[in-house]
Chains A and B, each alone.
Chain A
Amino acid sequence: MRATSTQTPPDLGTGGSITGLPTSADLRWADPEDQQWVDRLIIRVTAAVMVFTWWLVLTSPTLLTGHYPWAYEATGLGLLAAWYAVLVTAAVRGSGNLRILWPLPPLVLVLLVGMLLVPTGPPALQGQVWLTHPATIAVNIGLLILPWRVALPLIVSIATALTLVHSEWMHLPQAIAQTAAIMVGPYVVFLISGHLLARLLQLRAASADRATAVVRAQESRHLADQKAYWDRLIHDHVLGALVLGHRATTEESLAHARDAAREALASLEAPAAAPPQDDWVRRLDLFARSRGLVPTTVVVGLWAPPEVSRALAAAGRQAIENVARHAGVTAVRIGVTQSPDSVVLTIADDGRGFDLESVESTRMGLNGSIPGHVHAVGGSMRVTSAPGHGTTVTLGWGGRSSSAPRLPVLASSPWPSQQLIVLVWAAIHGTLGALYLDGVVRPWLSASGALLYLAGLAVLLLGSFRRFVPAVCVGLLASSVLLAAGAEPIDAADGRLWFCGALLPLVVVLILVGRVVWGMALGLGSAVLVTGTWLALGGPPAAQAAAVAALQLVAFPLVCLLLGVALNRTAGRIAQAGEETARERIAESESAARIAEGDRRRAALDRDAIPLLHRLRSATSLSKEDREALRLAEGSTRDLLVAAPLVDDRVRLAAAEARRRGARVSLSAEDVDPAAPIPGTSSRTSSDRAPRVSPGPAPRGSSRPDSGSTSRASSGAASRPAPGASSGSRPGASSRAAASNRDRALLSLREVVALLLPACGEGSEIVVRWHPGSRPETASVVLDAPTCRIPQPELSRALRPVPHELTVTADDLFLRLLDEPDPGHPG
C-alpha cells in the first residue's frame, strides 16, 4: 500500500479560511488507483445524498405550500437536471476528485442573474424563492474546491445577486441576513464533514506509515531471529557434539558424543520453527515452556499498545504460573486477539480447576496481582473455573463493541473549531430571529425558549461536551417546543422558523462525533414536538407540518448518520487493509530471512561439520586423526559463530591450517548490529542503523621497556571524511562515514589476520578481537611466540588505510586498530 500524504504542501491559494479546518487540498482525496473503489463509492454516494437532502430540506417547505406558474417549475426541474447531470458525470468518470463539480457555482450565478433580469415583480419572485437555494450548495462547493482567486469573485457575485433577489420583497438588512444564513450555515456543516474526511485521509496515511514501520521492524527482527536460531543450533548442538567427539577417548564418552551428534543432526534437519510474531506473546509462550508447560499459542492481530501488552503480559505470566503450579496438566492454551483498540488474552487449561469461592482462589493472585496489573491500564479480568473442569482466565482491554457507528480515531482529537462552529451558527440564527420578530405572537414563550437554547449552547461551549450531552439535549428539546409555540403557527412552512434550523448543527455535531443516539433523539424528538405544538395551536395541515418538521430536523441528521457509518466503515477497512498488507509482507520477509540465513549457514556447515557429525553418529571407534578432524571442525565452526564478520574463506582456511600445526587460534567479533550486512558479503549499502561511535580519547601511551620496533600511523585519507560525506553536520552522513571507516578497518583486519596466521605454529597463540564501537580501539591482535617471520612490508601495506598502533618484539606482536573520530564532531 502506498502512503497517501495529506500533509503535502497545502495549496495556500485555496479554500479553508478557518485554522484547523480542512482545505480544499484535503478534499482532493488520493489518486484513483491508490484507493479502493468501495471506499470511493461510499464517499461519493454519501456526498451526493447529502447534497440532495440539503436541497430538499431547503426547498420542500416552499414547494409544499406554494402554487407556481409552470415556467418556474420547469426552470427548477431544469436546474435540478443540470445539477444531477454534473453529479452523475462525477460518479461515472470516477476521477475521485470533487473538482468535477466546478461548473455548479457559475451555473447558479447565471440563474440568479436571470431571475433579476426577468421583470416578474416581488410577489412572483417570493414564490420562486426555492430556486435560489442552490446558491447555498454552489457557494459551498466553490469554497471547498475552487482556488480563492476564482471562488471569491464568484461567491461575492452570488451573494450580491441573492441579496438583490431577497430585497425585492424585504428590507435590505433582512435580505443580507437571509443571504448570510443561507450561505454560511450549510458551509459550516460541510466543513464538519470535510474535517472528518480529512481525518480519514490522515488515518489512512498514518495506517500506511505504521504498517511500513512495523514491517521494517519485523524485517530486521526476522534477520536477527534467524541468526539467533542458527547461532543457538550451532552453539547448543553442533559445537557441543564436535567437542565431545574430539574428547571421546573412552567408550563411554564416545557413546555420549554419538548421542550428541544424533541430536545435532536431528535439529539441523528440523525446519526452523516460525516463532509467534509478537514479542510479548512469544515471551509468554517461552515463559510457559520454561515452567514445563506445553503451550498452544494463537495470535490474531499485529499490534497492541505497548503499555497494555506489558500489563497483560505481567498478568498472563502469573496466570501461567498458576497453571504450572495448580492445574496438574501441562497443556495450556494461550490466545491473543489484539488491535490498537482492544486486546484480549486468554490463558486456558483443562486441569483440575477449582471452586471460585474457595480459599484456593485467593492464593492464586486472582484477587490481587492479576487484576492489579490489568486494572492499572483500565482492563478487566474474567475467570471461569469449576473443580475438574479446567480454568480459563480472560484478560481484556478496550474494545467497547457497539453496533452504533463510532469514530474513535476521527472524533477523539481535540477540536476547538467544533465550538466555533456552534457559536457561528447560533449567532446567525440569533440575528435571523431578531429580524423576524414580527412573526412572534407569544413573546414570553419565544423569549424563554431562546433563553433555554442559549443556556444549552453555553453548557456545550463552556462545559465538558461529553458529560452534559443528555442534559443539554433535553433542554434543547424543550427550547424548540417553546420557540415553536411562541411563533405564528402558519409560519411553519416559512424560513421564519429560524429555531428549527438552530437545532440542526447541534444534531449534526452530535452525530458526527459519535453521540449518535443523542443526536438522533434530539432531531426526532424535536420534529415530533414541534409538529405537535403547531397542530395544537391550529397551524398548517397535519401532513404539511409533519413533512416540514421531518425534513428539517430528521432528514439531514439521517444523512449525517449515513456519512458517519460510511466514514467509520471506510476507516475500519483502511486499518484492516493496512494490517493485511503488513501481515503479508511480514510473512514474506520472514520466509525470505529464513531461506537466506538457512542457506548461508548450511553452506558453511556442509564443508566439514555436517559430514563429520554423520560419521560421528555411527562411529564405533575414533582414530587420533578422526578426533583431530573434529577438533579442527569445532574451531572453524566456532569461528563462524563468534567471529562471522571477520572470517572470510581466506581467514577460515588459514586458521584451520594454523590449528592443524598446533597453534591456538582465538577469533572473536562483536556484532554491532545483528541485522547489518557484513561488508564484502552483500551489495546492500551499509546501514545508518549502526550506532555511532563515541569519539573516545586517544589510547594511553604505554611504556614499552623492551619493544623492538614501534610504528604508529594515522591514515590521512581515512581520518578525513570522503568528499561525498563532507556535509558532516548531518547525523546520517557522519554515521555513514563512521560505518564506512569501520568497514575499511574490518577489511584491513581480515588482511592482517590472513597474513599473521601462517606465522602461527606449535606453541604459538593468536588472539584477534574485533569490537567496534566499544573501546578507543576497534580491534586488537596479539600474536604470541610466532614460529616464523612476520611479513612486515605486507603488514604495513594492509594497515595503511587504518590508523593503528603496532608493536613487534622478538617474542610477540601487538596491534591495535584505532577508532577514527566521528567526522561529524571533529576533535
Chain B
Amino acid sequence: MGPDGSLRVGAVDDAPVVLAGLAASLHTAHPDIRIVTVARHVEELLASTEAVDLVLLDLELHDGTDPADNVTRLTDRDWPVLIFTQDLRGRLVARAFRAGAAGVLSKGEDLDVVAEAVRTVAAGEPFLSREWAAVVADDSALSGPLLAPREVEAVRLYAAGMKLASVARRLGVTDETVRTYLLRARRKYESAGRPAYTKTDLYIRAVEDGMLPPPGSPPAS
C-alpha cells in the first residue's frame, strides 16, 4: 500500500500509449488505484525502484521473452501478477496460470471489473474468472484425480460462461456453495498442480530455447 492507502500498480505492456490512457481513466473512476510504473519490459519494471502492490502484465510482450517466464520473474519478487490482455484464449493463459499468475483480465473489461480484480488480487485472493476455470477444466490430468466431481462440474459450467447463480441453480445449491467449490478447486490447483507444472514447463522451454543444455549433455563450465 502507498502512504495514502492507495493500491500501487505496476504495468508492463508494449503499447504504453494505451496503458497511459487506461491509467488516467482508471484513476479518475477509482482514485484508490494508481498505476505508478509503466514499463515496456519485465526487466524494466524489475529495475525500477518504485514499490508496487501488484503487476498488470500483458501476456505477450513480443520482445522474445516467454510469457510464463515473465510471470515467474515477477512472482519471484512476491508481486502478484494479474494478466491483462485482449486475447484470453487457452494455451497462453494456461501457461501463465501454471507459472503462478493470480488472474487474467480482459483489457476491454469494464473499469469497475478491472478495479475489483485489482483489489481482489492485491488482497491476496485469487480472482475467479471464466478463463481460469477453463484452464482447470481443460487440465484433465489435474481436475480428474484432484477435484471432487461436484467441483469439476462447477468449474466446467463456470468455464462455459455461466454466472454463479445459474451454476448454483443447475447444481441445486446456493451461490455461496458454488463459490466455495470454485475457491476450493482453485486452491487445490494452486497447491498441488502448479509448482510441478511450472518447473517442468520452464525447464522444457528453457531447453528448447537453448538457455539450458539438454539432459545428458556435458555441463557447461
Contacts and interface: CB of A to CB of B under 8 A. Distances in A.
A290 B221 contact: no
B86 A239 contact: yes
A671 B89 contact: yes
Contact of B64 (A240, A287, A666, A771): A287
Given A283-B209, A705-B172, A784 B20 contact: no
Contacts of B220: 369, 372-373, 376
A670 B138 CA distance: 12
B18 A812 contact: no
B138 A774 contact: yes
B87 A641 contact: yes
A33 B157 CA distance: 64
Contacts of B64: 282-283, 285-287, 289-290
B187 interface: no
Contacts of B138: 771, 774-775
B32 interface: no
Interface stretch (B1-9, B161-169, B177-185, B189-197): B161-169
Interface residues of A, number: 80
A766 B163 CA distance: 11
Q: Please tell me the size bucket of the interface on B.
A: 35 or more
A359 to B, nearest CB: 19
Rank and list the top 10 A-B pairs by shortest CB-CB distance, nearest first.
A767-B161, A286-B64, A240-B18, A256-B21, A310-B210, A372-B220, A290-B63, A780-B160, A244-B21, A782-B161
Interface in A682-735: 700, 702-707
A373 B212 CA distance: 9
Nearest to A631: B108
B17 A259 contact: yes
A811 B137 CA distance: 24
A305 to B, nearest CB: 12
12 contacts: A241-B18, A309-B210, A310-B214, A373-B213, A376-B218, A668-B88, A669-B89, A702-B170, A774-B138, A780-B161, A784-B166, A816-B160
Nearest to B59: A235
Interface string A370-401: 01110110000000000000000000000000
Interface stretch (B22-30, B48-56, B74-82, B95-103): B22-30
Interface of A: 231-232, 234-237, 239-241, 243-244, 247-250, 252-253, 256-257, 259-260, 263, 280, 282-283, 285-287, 289-291, 307, 309-311, 313-314, 317, 368-369, 371-373, 375-376, 634-635, 638, 641-642, 666, 668-671, 700, 702-707, 765-769, 771, 774-775, 780-782, 784, 807, 809, 811-812, 814, 816
B153 interface: yes
B89 A642 contact: yes
Interface in B60-74: 60-65
Question: What is the interface of chain A mostly: helix, strand, loop, or mixed?
Answer: helix
B162 A244 contact: no
B87 A244 contact: no
* B21, B58, B156 pick with most chain A CB within 10 angstroms: B21
* B18, B61, B63 pick with most chain A CB within 10 angstroms: B18
A670 B89 contact: yes
B18 A237 contact: yes
B15 A240 contact: yes
B34 interface: no
Contacts of B163: 765, 784
A634 B160 contact: no
* A236, A291, A704, A816 pick with most chain B CB within 10 angstroms: A236
A241 B62 CA distance: 19
Contacts of A285: 64
A253 B21 contact: yes
B90 interface: yes
* A235, A670, A814 pick with most chain B CB within 10 angstroms: A235
Given A244-B22, A290-B43, A703-B171, A782 B221 contact: no
